[in-house]
Structure 1
Amino acid sequence: MLTVSHDPAVVELNLLVGRVACPDCDGRLRPWGWARPRVVREGLDTKWVGRSLRPRRSRCTICQVTHVLLEVRLAARRADTAEVIAAAIEAKTVLGQGHRTIAARCGRPVSTVRGWLRAFATSAVLIGERFTGLLVRDALDAVVLWPKPGGGISGEALSVLMAYAEGLARRFAATVTVTWIDAGIAATNGRLFCASWWAGAPNTNPPLRQALAGGKVATTPAIFL
């Protein structure tokens, strides 16, 4: 899977002109049909709605591997948008709310919310290490913006994610607006909340790529906004 823009027209154009780099080799991704249809739940309260979508599929011109392209608002293997999961994590980490309270407020099953929180907590140490490295490499000036950690290990992971997003926002203020969930999803290709991926992820930081954004060529994470 690969994280791309939320705008289908931008995604299509980037595929056609060869702007999307393959994450596995030096090739470029081209259009290759569509992934299976799915429904994603949107909304931060009990009045959520289901949105039908069918992600674009791409294929590398060199290694021939196919990749499903997920827009930046989506998290891999989750039926809810990344924004909803992020709100739940903030409620737990910052406000200290329990999973039952959070589930009632966002209108999701208790087991689903518990799974989100557990996945983030399980991977918190690795998330903190990975994004500390990215922060130092990509947005060193944002280290001074690092919020005071709170809520234990999960709070520290959330703090470094916020600092990293703030650093990117300052760096690319003329082209994009970056939230911590956008930065986290983009840097992990949608796998920020996949504990199994973190458990097997190599302890390296992926190289930045060049993307054309707002008429400017800028070095950004693996996402085309």
Structure 2
Amino acid sequence: MLLPVFVLVRRVDLADVIGSALVAKAAGAGARTIAAVLRRPVDTVRGWLRRFEQRAEHVRVYFTVLLVDTGPDPIPPAASVSVFADAVSAVVGAWKAAASRWPDIGEVSPWQLAAATSRGRLLSPRWP
């Protein structure tokens, strides 16, 4: 079964909704605050955050390599306070690198790019 670029495997919410939760967490927000803003159950949001936290180093490495391989003049993101925040920065950086190389890709969000490049498995335990 082929998934559209805006969803993740085994997730009901759009990749952009999940991505906004990950960005908020990287900025220091807690699960309850994020859930209230997104109008999603706290347990759902907490599940996204925990799964991403478990995969953060793999996500960081994968998207940093994608950033360096894709960008015409790549600048990898500097290290931040957490691996979680570094992984979020790597996803956004890879999206910026792809958008600078292929301007039409700017029509998709960083989280749609992440969903597409991970084949919908961004939060999957067996990816990458």
Q: What's the TM-score, normalizing by structure 1? A: 0.53
- What pairs with 1:191-206 in structure 2 (closer than 5 Å)? 191-194=121-124, 196-198=125-127, 201=128
Superposition map of 1:79-158 within 5 A: 79-94=12-27, 96-143=28-75, 146-158=76-88
Which runs of structure 1 show a deviation greater than 2 angstroms over 4 or more consecutive aligned residues? 146-151
Q: Deviation at 1:147?
A: 4.2
Indicate the percent of aligned positions where both proteins have the same amino acid: 38
Partner of residue 111, structure 2: 181
Which residue of the partner structure matches residue 160 of structure 1? 90
Answer with 1 or 2: which has the greater Rg: 1
- Specify every segment of 5 or more residues in structure 2 that has no aligned partner in the other structure, as ranges: none
In the TM superposition, residue 186 of structure 1 has moved relative to its aligned partner by 1.2
- Deviation of 1:197 after TM superposition, in Å, equals 1.9
TM-score (norm 2): 0.90
Aligned residues: 127
Give ranges in structure 1 of 5+ residues lacking alignment. 1-67, 202-225
Secondary structure of the 1:70 match is coil
For the structure 1 residues 136 and 148, does the alpha-carbon distance in structure 2 shift closer, same or farther, using more than 3 Å as the test? closer
1:170 equivalenced with 2:100 (yes/no): yes
With 134-143 and 102-111 compared, the bigger mean Cα shift is at: 134-143
Root-mean-square deviation (CA), in Å?
1.5
Of structures 1 and 2, the one with the larger relative CO (CA 8 A, separation 6+) is 2
State how far apart, in whole Å, the 2-side matches of 1:152 and 1:164 are: 18
